[in-house]
Amino acid sequence: MGERPDPRSDPRIPERRRGLRHAWDATGYSLAGLRRLSRETAARMECLGAALGAAALWGAGASAVDVLVAAILFLLLLAVEAINTALEVLTNRVSPGWSEEAKDVKDLGSLAVGLLILANAGWVAAVCTGLA
């Protein structure tokens, strides 16, 4: 087996910085993740669902607290969608062929997203019907 190259000599790996520079770098990584997530059809559909939910909340005269809860639930949904996408990308990399374990990883990630979609829809429905 060949030796692994020293990561410090790989020009694709950025130098680790500290303080405000680290925060700046982390922001850039987050924005890159957002750009990657925006290429996912599911994430775009979830954004459309959030827009429809926001319109329903506005039409129902939802309170600021109701809208804040909906916004937090939507951000959680996007966060879980990002993790699910990362799991799928990594699974495809380490298990390019079909395997029961790879299927389980993808199914469980999908379940997590689906449960948060239900939570988002449930909250909007509860607010719009006066149950919340």
Q: Indicate the pTM of the whole model.
A: 0.84
- Residue 56 near residue 128 (C-beta atoms within 8 A): yes
Task: Determine the pLDDT at residue 13.
Answer: 78
Helix axes 64-94, 41-59, angle to 10 degrees: 170
In order, the DSSP letters of 86-122 are HHHHHHHHH--S--HHHHHHHHHHHHHHHHHHHHHHH
Task: Determine the pLDDT at residue 59.
Answer: 97
Q: Would you name the residues annotated as active-site residues?
A: 81
How far, rounded to the nearest angstrom, does the alpha carbon of residue 109 sit from its chain's CA centroid? Answer: 11
For residue range 31-75, list pLDDT tens digits in order. 999 999 999 999 999 999 999 999 999 999 999 999 999 999 999
For residue range 84-125, list pLDDT tens digits in order. 999 999 999 999 889 999 999 999 999 999 999 999 999 999
